[in-house]
């Protein structure tokens, strides 16, 4: 994603869940989800959509370094101007640098690499165990969790 803060003017996604993701990797949620997440992770940023203020754009700011030596990553089509790649292809389960996982504070993290192709690239999101428990207990619609 080029700029995760950019919201096209008049954009009104057909959003009918508590939390979800767009095709270009943006995470959307309703106020109820934002209120819960903000209590456990004050670093998450929320911005209401100008044309639909009941829906918030969620932006995870803390990163975890992906470890490509454990899980191979293919980088395809390097841009000579900016250094980014057209495609970044990884494998699951994701592998992060072990030193970064030792002292994680409670909350939500994003991978330092964005996977996918072209404008559809986005990070992997990682939630700590107690955040996962809280999300599951609240039964937010649209939530999909996959163990690492």
Given a cut of 60, whether residue 147 has pLDDT beyond it is yes
pLDDT tens per residue across span 22-80 = 777 788 899 999 999 999 899 999 998 888 888 899 999 999 988 878 878 888 898 88
Tell whether the torsion through CA atoms of 73, 25, 93 and 129 is positive or negative: positive
d(CA 25, CA 115): 10
Instruction: Kindly report whether the peptide bond that precedes residue 127 is cis, defined as omega within 30 degrees of 0.
Output: no
**pTM for this entry:** 0.81
Average pLDDT rounded to a whole number, residues 83-108: 80
């Amino acid at each position: 994603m080029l700029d995760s803060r950019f919201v096209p003017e008049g954009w009104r996604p057909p959003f009918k869940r508590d939390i979800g993701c767009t095709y270009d990797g943006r995470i959307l949620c309703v106020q109820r989800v934002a209120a819960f997440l903000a209590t456990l992770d004050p670093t998450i940023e929320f911005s209401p959509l100008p044309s639909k203020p009941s829906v918030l754009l969620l932006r995870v700011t803390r990163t975890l370094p992906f470890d490509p030596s454990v899980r191979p990553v293919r980088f395809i089509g390097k841009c000579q101007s900016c250094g980014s790649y057209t495609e970044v292809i990884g494998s699951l389960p994701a592998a992060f640098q072990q030193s970064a996982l030792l002292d994680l504070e409670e909350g939500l993290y994003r991978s330092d690499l964005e996977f996918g192709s072209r404008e559809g690239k986005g990070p992997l999101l990682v939630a700590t165990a107690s955040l996962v428990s809280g999300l599951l207990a609240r039964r937010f619609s649209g939530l999909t969790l996959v163990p690492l």
